[in-house]
Amino acid sequence: MIRVKEGGAMPPGEVFLRPSRVEVDLDAIGANYARIRDVLGEVKLCAVVKADAYGAGAVMVARHLESLGIERLAVVTLDEAVELRQAGIRAPILNMGAIFPDQAPLAVRYYIEQMVFQPELLGALDAAARAAGVLARIHLKVDTGMSRYGLPAEAAAALIARLPEWPALECIGVMTHFPMSDGLDKSFAQLQIGRFSALRREVEGAGRRIPLWHMCNSGGVLDLPEAHMDMVRVGLMLYGYYPSREVRRPFDLRPALQVRTRIAAVRTISRGDSVGYGRRYMAEQPERIAVLPVGYADGYDRKLRNIGEVLVAGRRAPIVGGLCMDACFIQVTDIPEAVEGSEVTLMGSDGGEEISPHDIAARIESVSYEVMARWGRRLPRVYRRGGEIVAIRSDLTAEN
């Protein structure tokens, strides 16, 4: 459910049913979009809004990007694409995920550009398009080294030569993907660029023109300008984060997501008292413990037990004890400002301190992508523009 306040700001003190929420700065997404656009020149930009726009909320992000003139959006399931269409998004949508032939009519009905590499699916899309009296757009996937979806270059060339067999299909793209574009060693990425470029030369040499050849994700945009080709597919950078510490940083990005909550209870415990399930943390002296109403069911990883940190009053406070499904504990002995109701930042910045998705990922041996994509549907998404709340999405209740 999306509730958009008409005509500007929500009244201050608007009550959230839940104090734990993901705050999304639409201005930051807009600024990141502009920075990325600047370096691309004529190259087209496809905004990756899969996985609920990496936690930011796909519909609101897509609407905002559409208002800024985005050329194309990308998702990985038909449901994600249909969600956007049903919300009124009109921009071209590329479904980069695999579908089965029986799903072809749905892709056609919602004007989804489908990633394909199987002849059976090409046949099913062609039949569905003919039945609907339209052309179905496809992007042919080539596997240059990810070993996920796609055909090896040679088989892809053969399939491209066969495309006239399916007259209701319009092949507007050929795509491949980097498994490692953001590391220091670019040799495998270079090998992939070589394979993909050779295929392009072969196809074009045979007189076949396909308008969009695309392979770059965020890492490729930053470090492999020779691979930008006709279009790039960017996710993480739109949300304000570089894909790794190794990539070049030719422009500044503004983090767009903050995950916050408020302290639900504070207690002082004595030496020898334990905290939480499993009694994994024992106080060695009297300590002030604050309880946060957010837990692993919200996407806050249990592995953060005794190693995670949050920000309170601009200072770092350690997570102590095991994380519960719906709550966790922080130690605030030295932060007297931490009282019931105090704002707490799990991801984002407060004062001069910042906890990025990379910081959380490093502690739980994960990647920023996973940290972002896991913030759960119980957390309302609160959208800001110009510092004001302009919309709140709650998946649970219209009252929020």
Ligand X SMILES: Cc1ncc(COP(=O)(O)O)c(C=O)c1O
137 binds ligand X (CB under 6 A): no
Stretch in the footprint of ligand X (CB under 6 A) among 184-192, 235-243, 250-258, 382-390: 235-243
Residue closer to ligand X, measured from CB, 51 or 269:
51
Residue nearest to ligand X (CB): 235
The contact pattern for ligand X, residues 195-234, with x = CB under 6 A and - = no contact, is ----------------------xx--------------xx
To the nearest whole angstrom, how small is the minimum distance from the Cβ of residue 244 to ligand X? 10
Task: Tally the C-alpha atoms within 13 A of residue 362's C-alpha that lie toward its C-beta.
Answer: 8
Give CA separation, 320 vs 22, 139, 275, 303, in Å.
Answer: 22, 49, 7, 11
For the annotated catalytic residues, the residue numbers are: 50, 277
Residue 229, φ and ψ in degrees, nearest 5: 50, -130
Rounded Cα distance between 209 and 173, Å, is 10
Residue closer to ligand X, measured from CB, 64 or 260:
64
To the nearest whole angstrom, how small is the minimum distance from the Cβ of residue 367 to ligand X? 10
End-to-end, the C-alpha distance of the chain in Å comes to 9
Are 221 and 228 within 8 A, CB to CB?
Answer: yes
Interface residue with ligand X, options 243, 276, 295, 322 (CB under 6 A):
243
Question: Strand pairing partners for 345?
Answer: 260, 311
The phi-psi region of residue 299 (left if phi > 0; otherwise alpha if psi is between -120 and 50; otherwise beta) is left
To the nearest whole angstrom, how small is the minimum distance from the Cβ of residue 235 to ligand X? 3
Interface residue with ligand X, options 30, 173, 235, 240 (CB under 6 A):
235
CA 79 to chain centre: 16
To the nearest whole angstrom, how small is the minimum distance from the Cβ of residue 357 to ligand X? 12
Residue closer to ligand X, measured from CB, 150 or 308:
150
Segments in 330-385 forming alpha helices (H): 357-363, 368-373
The 3-state secondary structure of 33-63, one letter per residue: HHHHHHHHCCCEEEEECHHHHHCCCHHHHHH
Residue closer to ligand X, measured from CB, 132 or 180:
180
To the nearest whole angstrom, how small is the minimum distance from the Cβ of residue 26 to ligand X? 18
To the nearest whole angstrom, how small is the minimum distance from the Cβ of residue 123 to ligand X? 24
All residues at 6 or more sequence positions from 72 whose CB lies less than 8 Å from its CB, including other chains: 44, 45, 46, 47, 91, 92, 93, 94, 113, 231
Report the alpha-carbon angle 360-386-24, nearest 5.
30
Residue closer to ligand X, measured from CB, 112 or 391:
112
Interface residue with ligand X, options 236, 304, 324, 373 (CB under 6 A):
236
Interface residue with ligand X, options 24, 29, 93, 96 (CB under 6 A):
96
Residues forming the site for ligand X (CB under 6 A) = 48, 96, 177, 217-218, 233-236, 243
